Each structure stands twice: as structure tokens, then as C-alpha cells.
Amino acid sequence: MKPLLEKYLPLSANSSSSSALHAERQKDHYSHFILRLAFASTEDLRRRFSRVETSLFRLRFQNDDVRERQAFVESLNFDWEMVGEQEKRELGPELVAAGGGFVKRMDEESWFKVDWERVPELVETRKVLLKYGKAYVPGREQLSMVVAEFTSRLDKALEVCLLS
């Protein structure tokens, strides 16, 4: 998919010194919103658009510069609660077990606490600890959280297009 994207819809990083950066962003925005309107008419088309746009978002997010990725996540003001040291100590063995063998010690990983409905992919694959209606998500699964939030926001926006 990368060669096709580079050919038809290139998108330089924000930190690049590309002279075409503004034009690339503009083309990306125009195409997204035109397709959003075109695919908003039926549930099947909305699902299809959401699936493909989410795949594109995932690919671009993974290929983005680490600093830009972090700045992007921080700019969205997600209401993710960081798990404090006290709570980490209390839930230590359970968090390590939920880490799927990737977490050996608690101080090696940061954890987020979100409503479990916001990370269905991680719940389904048992990569989180569920407790008191919250999912304790290891920091390395941040991509899944961002993608789930993107998909949720896109689906809501597609519903608004239908109502308009």
C-alpha cells in the first residue's frame, strides 16, 4: 500500500521541509471529506469507508516520526487516566499477567486506565486487565487506543453526514 500512497496521495511529515507540504495536506483533507460525503448514505458504505480510512490512519500513524506521533496524541486531549504508582503496586501481579509476558517488571511500563468499551480490540485479544469497568492498558498498546478513538470519532462524523 505504501507505493500507492506515495504515488497518489503523498503526505510528508509535519517536520519535513517539503515545499509541497501544504498542498499535500490540502489534497488529503479534500479527498477525505469528499469520500466521507460519498460514503455516508448507507450503513454498508459507512462501514467500508471507516474500515479503509482506519487502515490508512494506522499505516500513517505507525510510519510517523515518534516526536510527531506523541505531539499528535497529546494534542487530542484524550481522557485517558495514567495509572499512578500506588495503583500499580496494588494491581502489580494482575497487570504483569495482563501484559501477556511482555511486562516483566512494573517500572518498565506505563499504564492507562480507560472505560473498557473504548478498547474492544484489546479486550477481545485479552491484552488488558479489566477491573471495576475499566481497562488497564499497557503503554505499548497506545496505537490500538488511538486507532479505536479515531474509528469511533469517524463513525460519529459519518452519522452526522447522514443527518445533514
pLDDT for 148 equals 86
**The pLDDT of residue 18:** 63
Contacts 24+ apart (CB under 8 A), 126-135: 126/98, 126/100, 127/98, 127/100, 128/98, 129/91, 129/94, 129/95, 129/97, 129/98, 131/91, 131/94
Q: Residue 130: which pLDDT band, with cuts at 50, 70 and 90?
A: very high
Q: Rounded to whole angstroms, what are the CA distances from 147 to 17, 55, 56, 69, 116?
A: 27, 9, 10, 12, 15
Question: Model pTM?
Answer: 0.73
pLDDT, tens only, 144-157: 889 988 998 999 99
